[in-house]
């Protein structure tokens, strides 16, 4: 996912996407322990997407906290 796409998502959508990606990552790791993965780079892609989602989520929390302090 691109950062621009992530910023267009709502907070609930980001949380849901994070959960889905975490499940995919778990399943890929488990499958990789028992058999060769078709695309082992998919693990890296998922981890990066999770990091991007968490970064945008944290940015929104920081802005909300800053705005609350200014009031």
- Per-residue confidence (pLDDT) for residue 70, from 0 to 100: 81
Residue 31 CB contacts under 8 Å (≥ 6 apart), including other chains: 37
* Mean predicted confidence (pLDDT) in 11-34: 96
Q: Would the pLDDT of 71 be above 80?
A: no
The string of pLDDT tens digits covering residues 27-69 is 999 999 999 999 999 999 999 999 999 999 999 999 888 888 8
Domains and CATH numbers, the chain: 3-70 (1.10.287.310)
Calpha distance 67→50 (Å, rounded): 26
**Predicted model pTM:** 0.88
- Per-residue confidence (pLDDT) for residue 66, from 0 to 100: 86
């Amino acid at each position: 996912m691109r950062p621009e796409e992530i910023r267009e998502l709502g907070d609930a959508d980001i949380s849901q996407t994070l959960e889905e990606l975490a499940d995919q990552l778990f399943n890929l790791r488990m499958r990789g322990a028992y058999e060769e993965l078709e695309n082992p780079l998919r693990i890296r892609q998922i981890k990066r997407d999770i990091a991007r989602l968490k970064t945008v989520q944290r940015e929104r929390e920081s802005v909300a906290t800053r705005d609350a302090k200014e009031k």
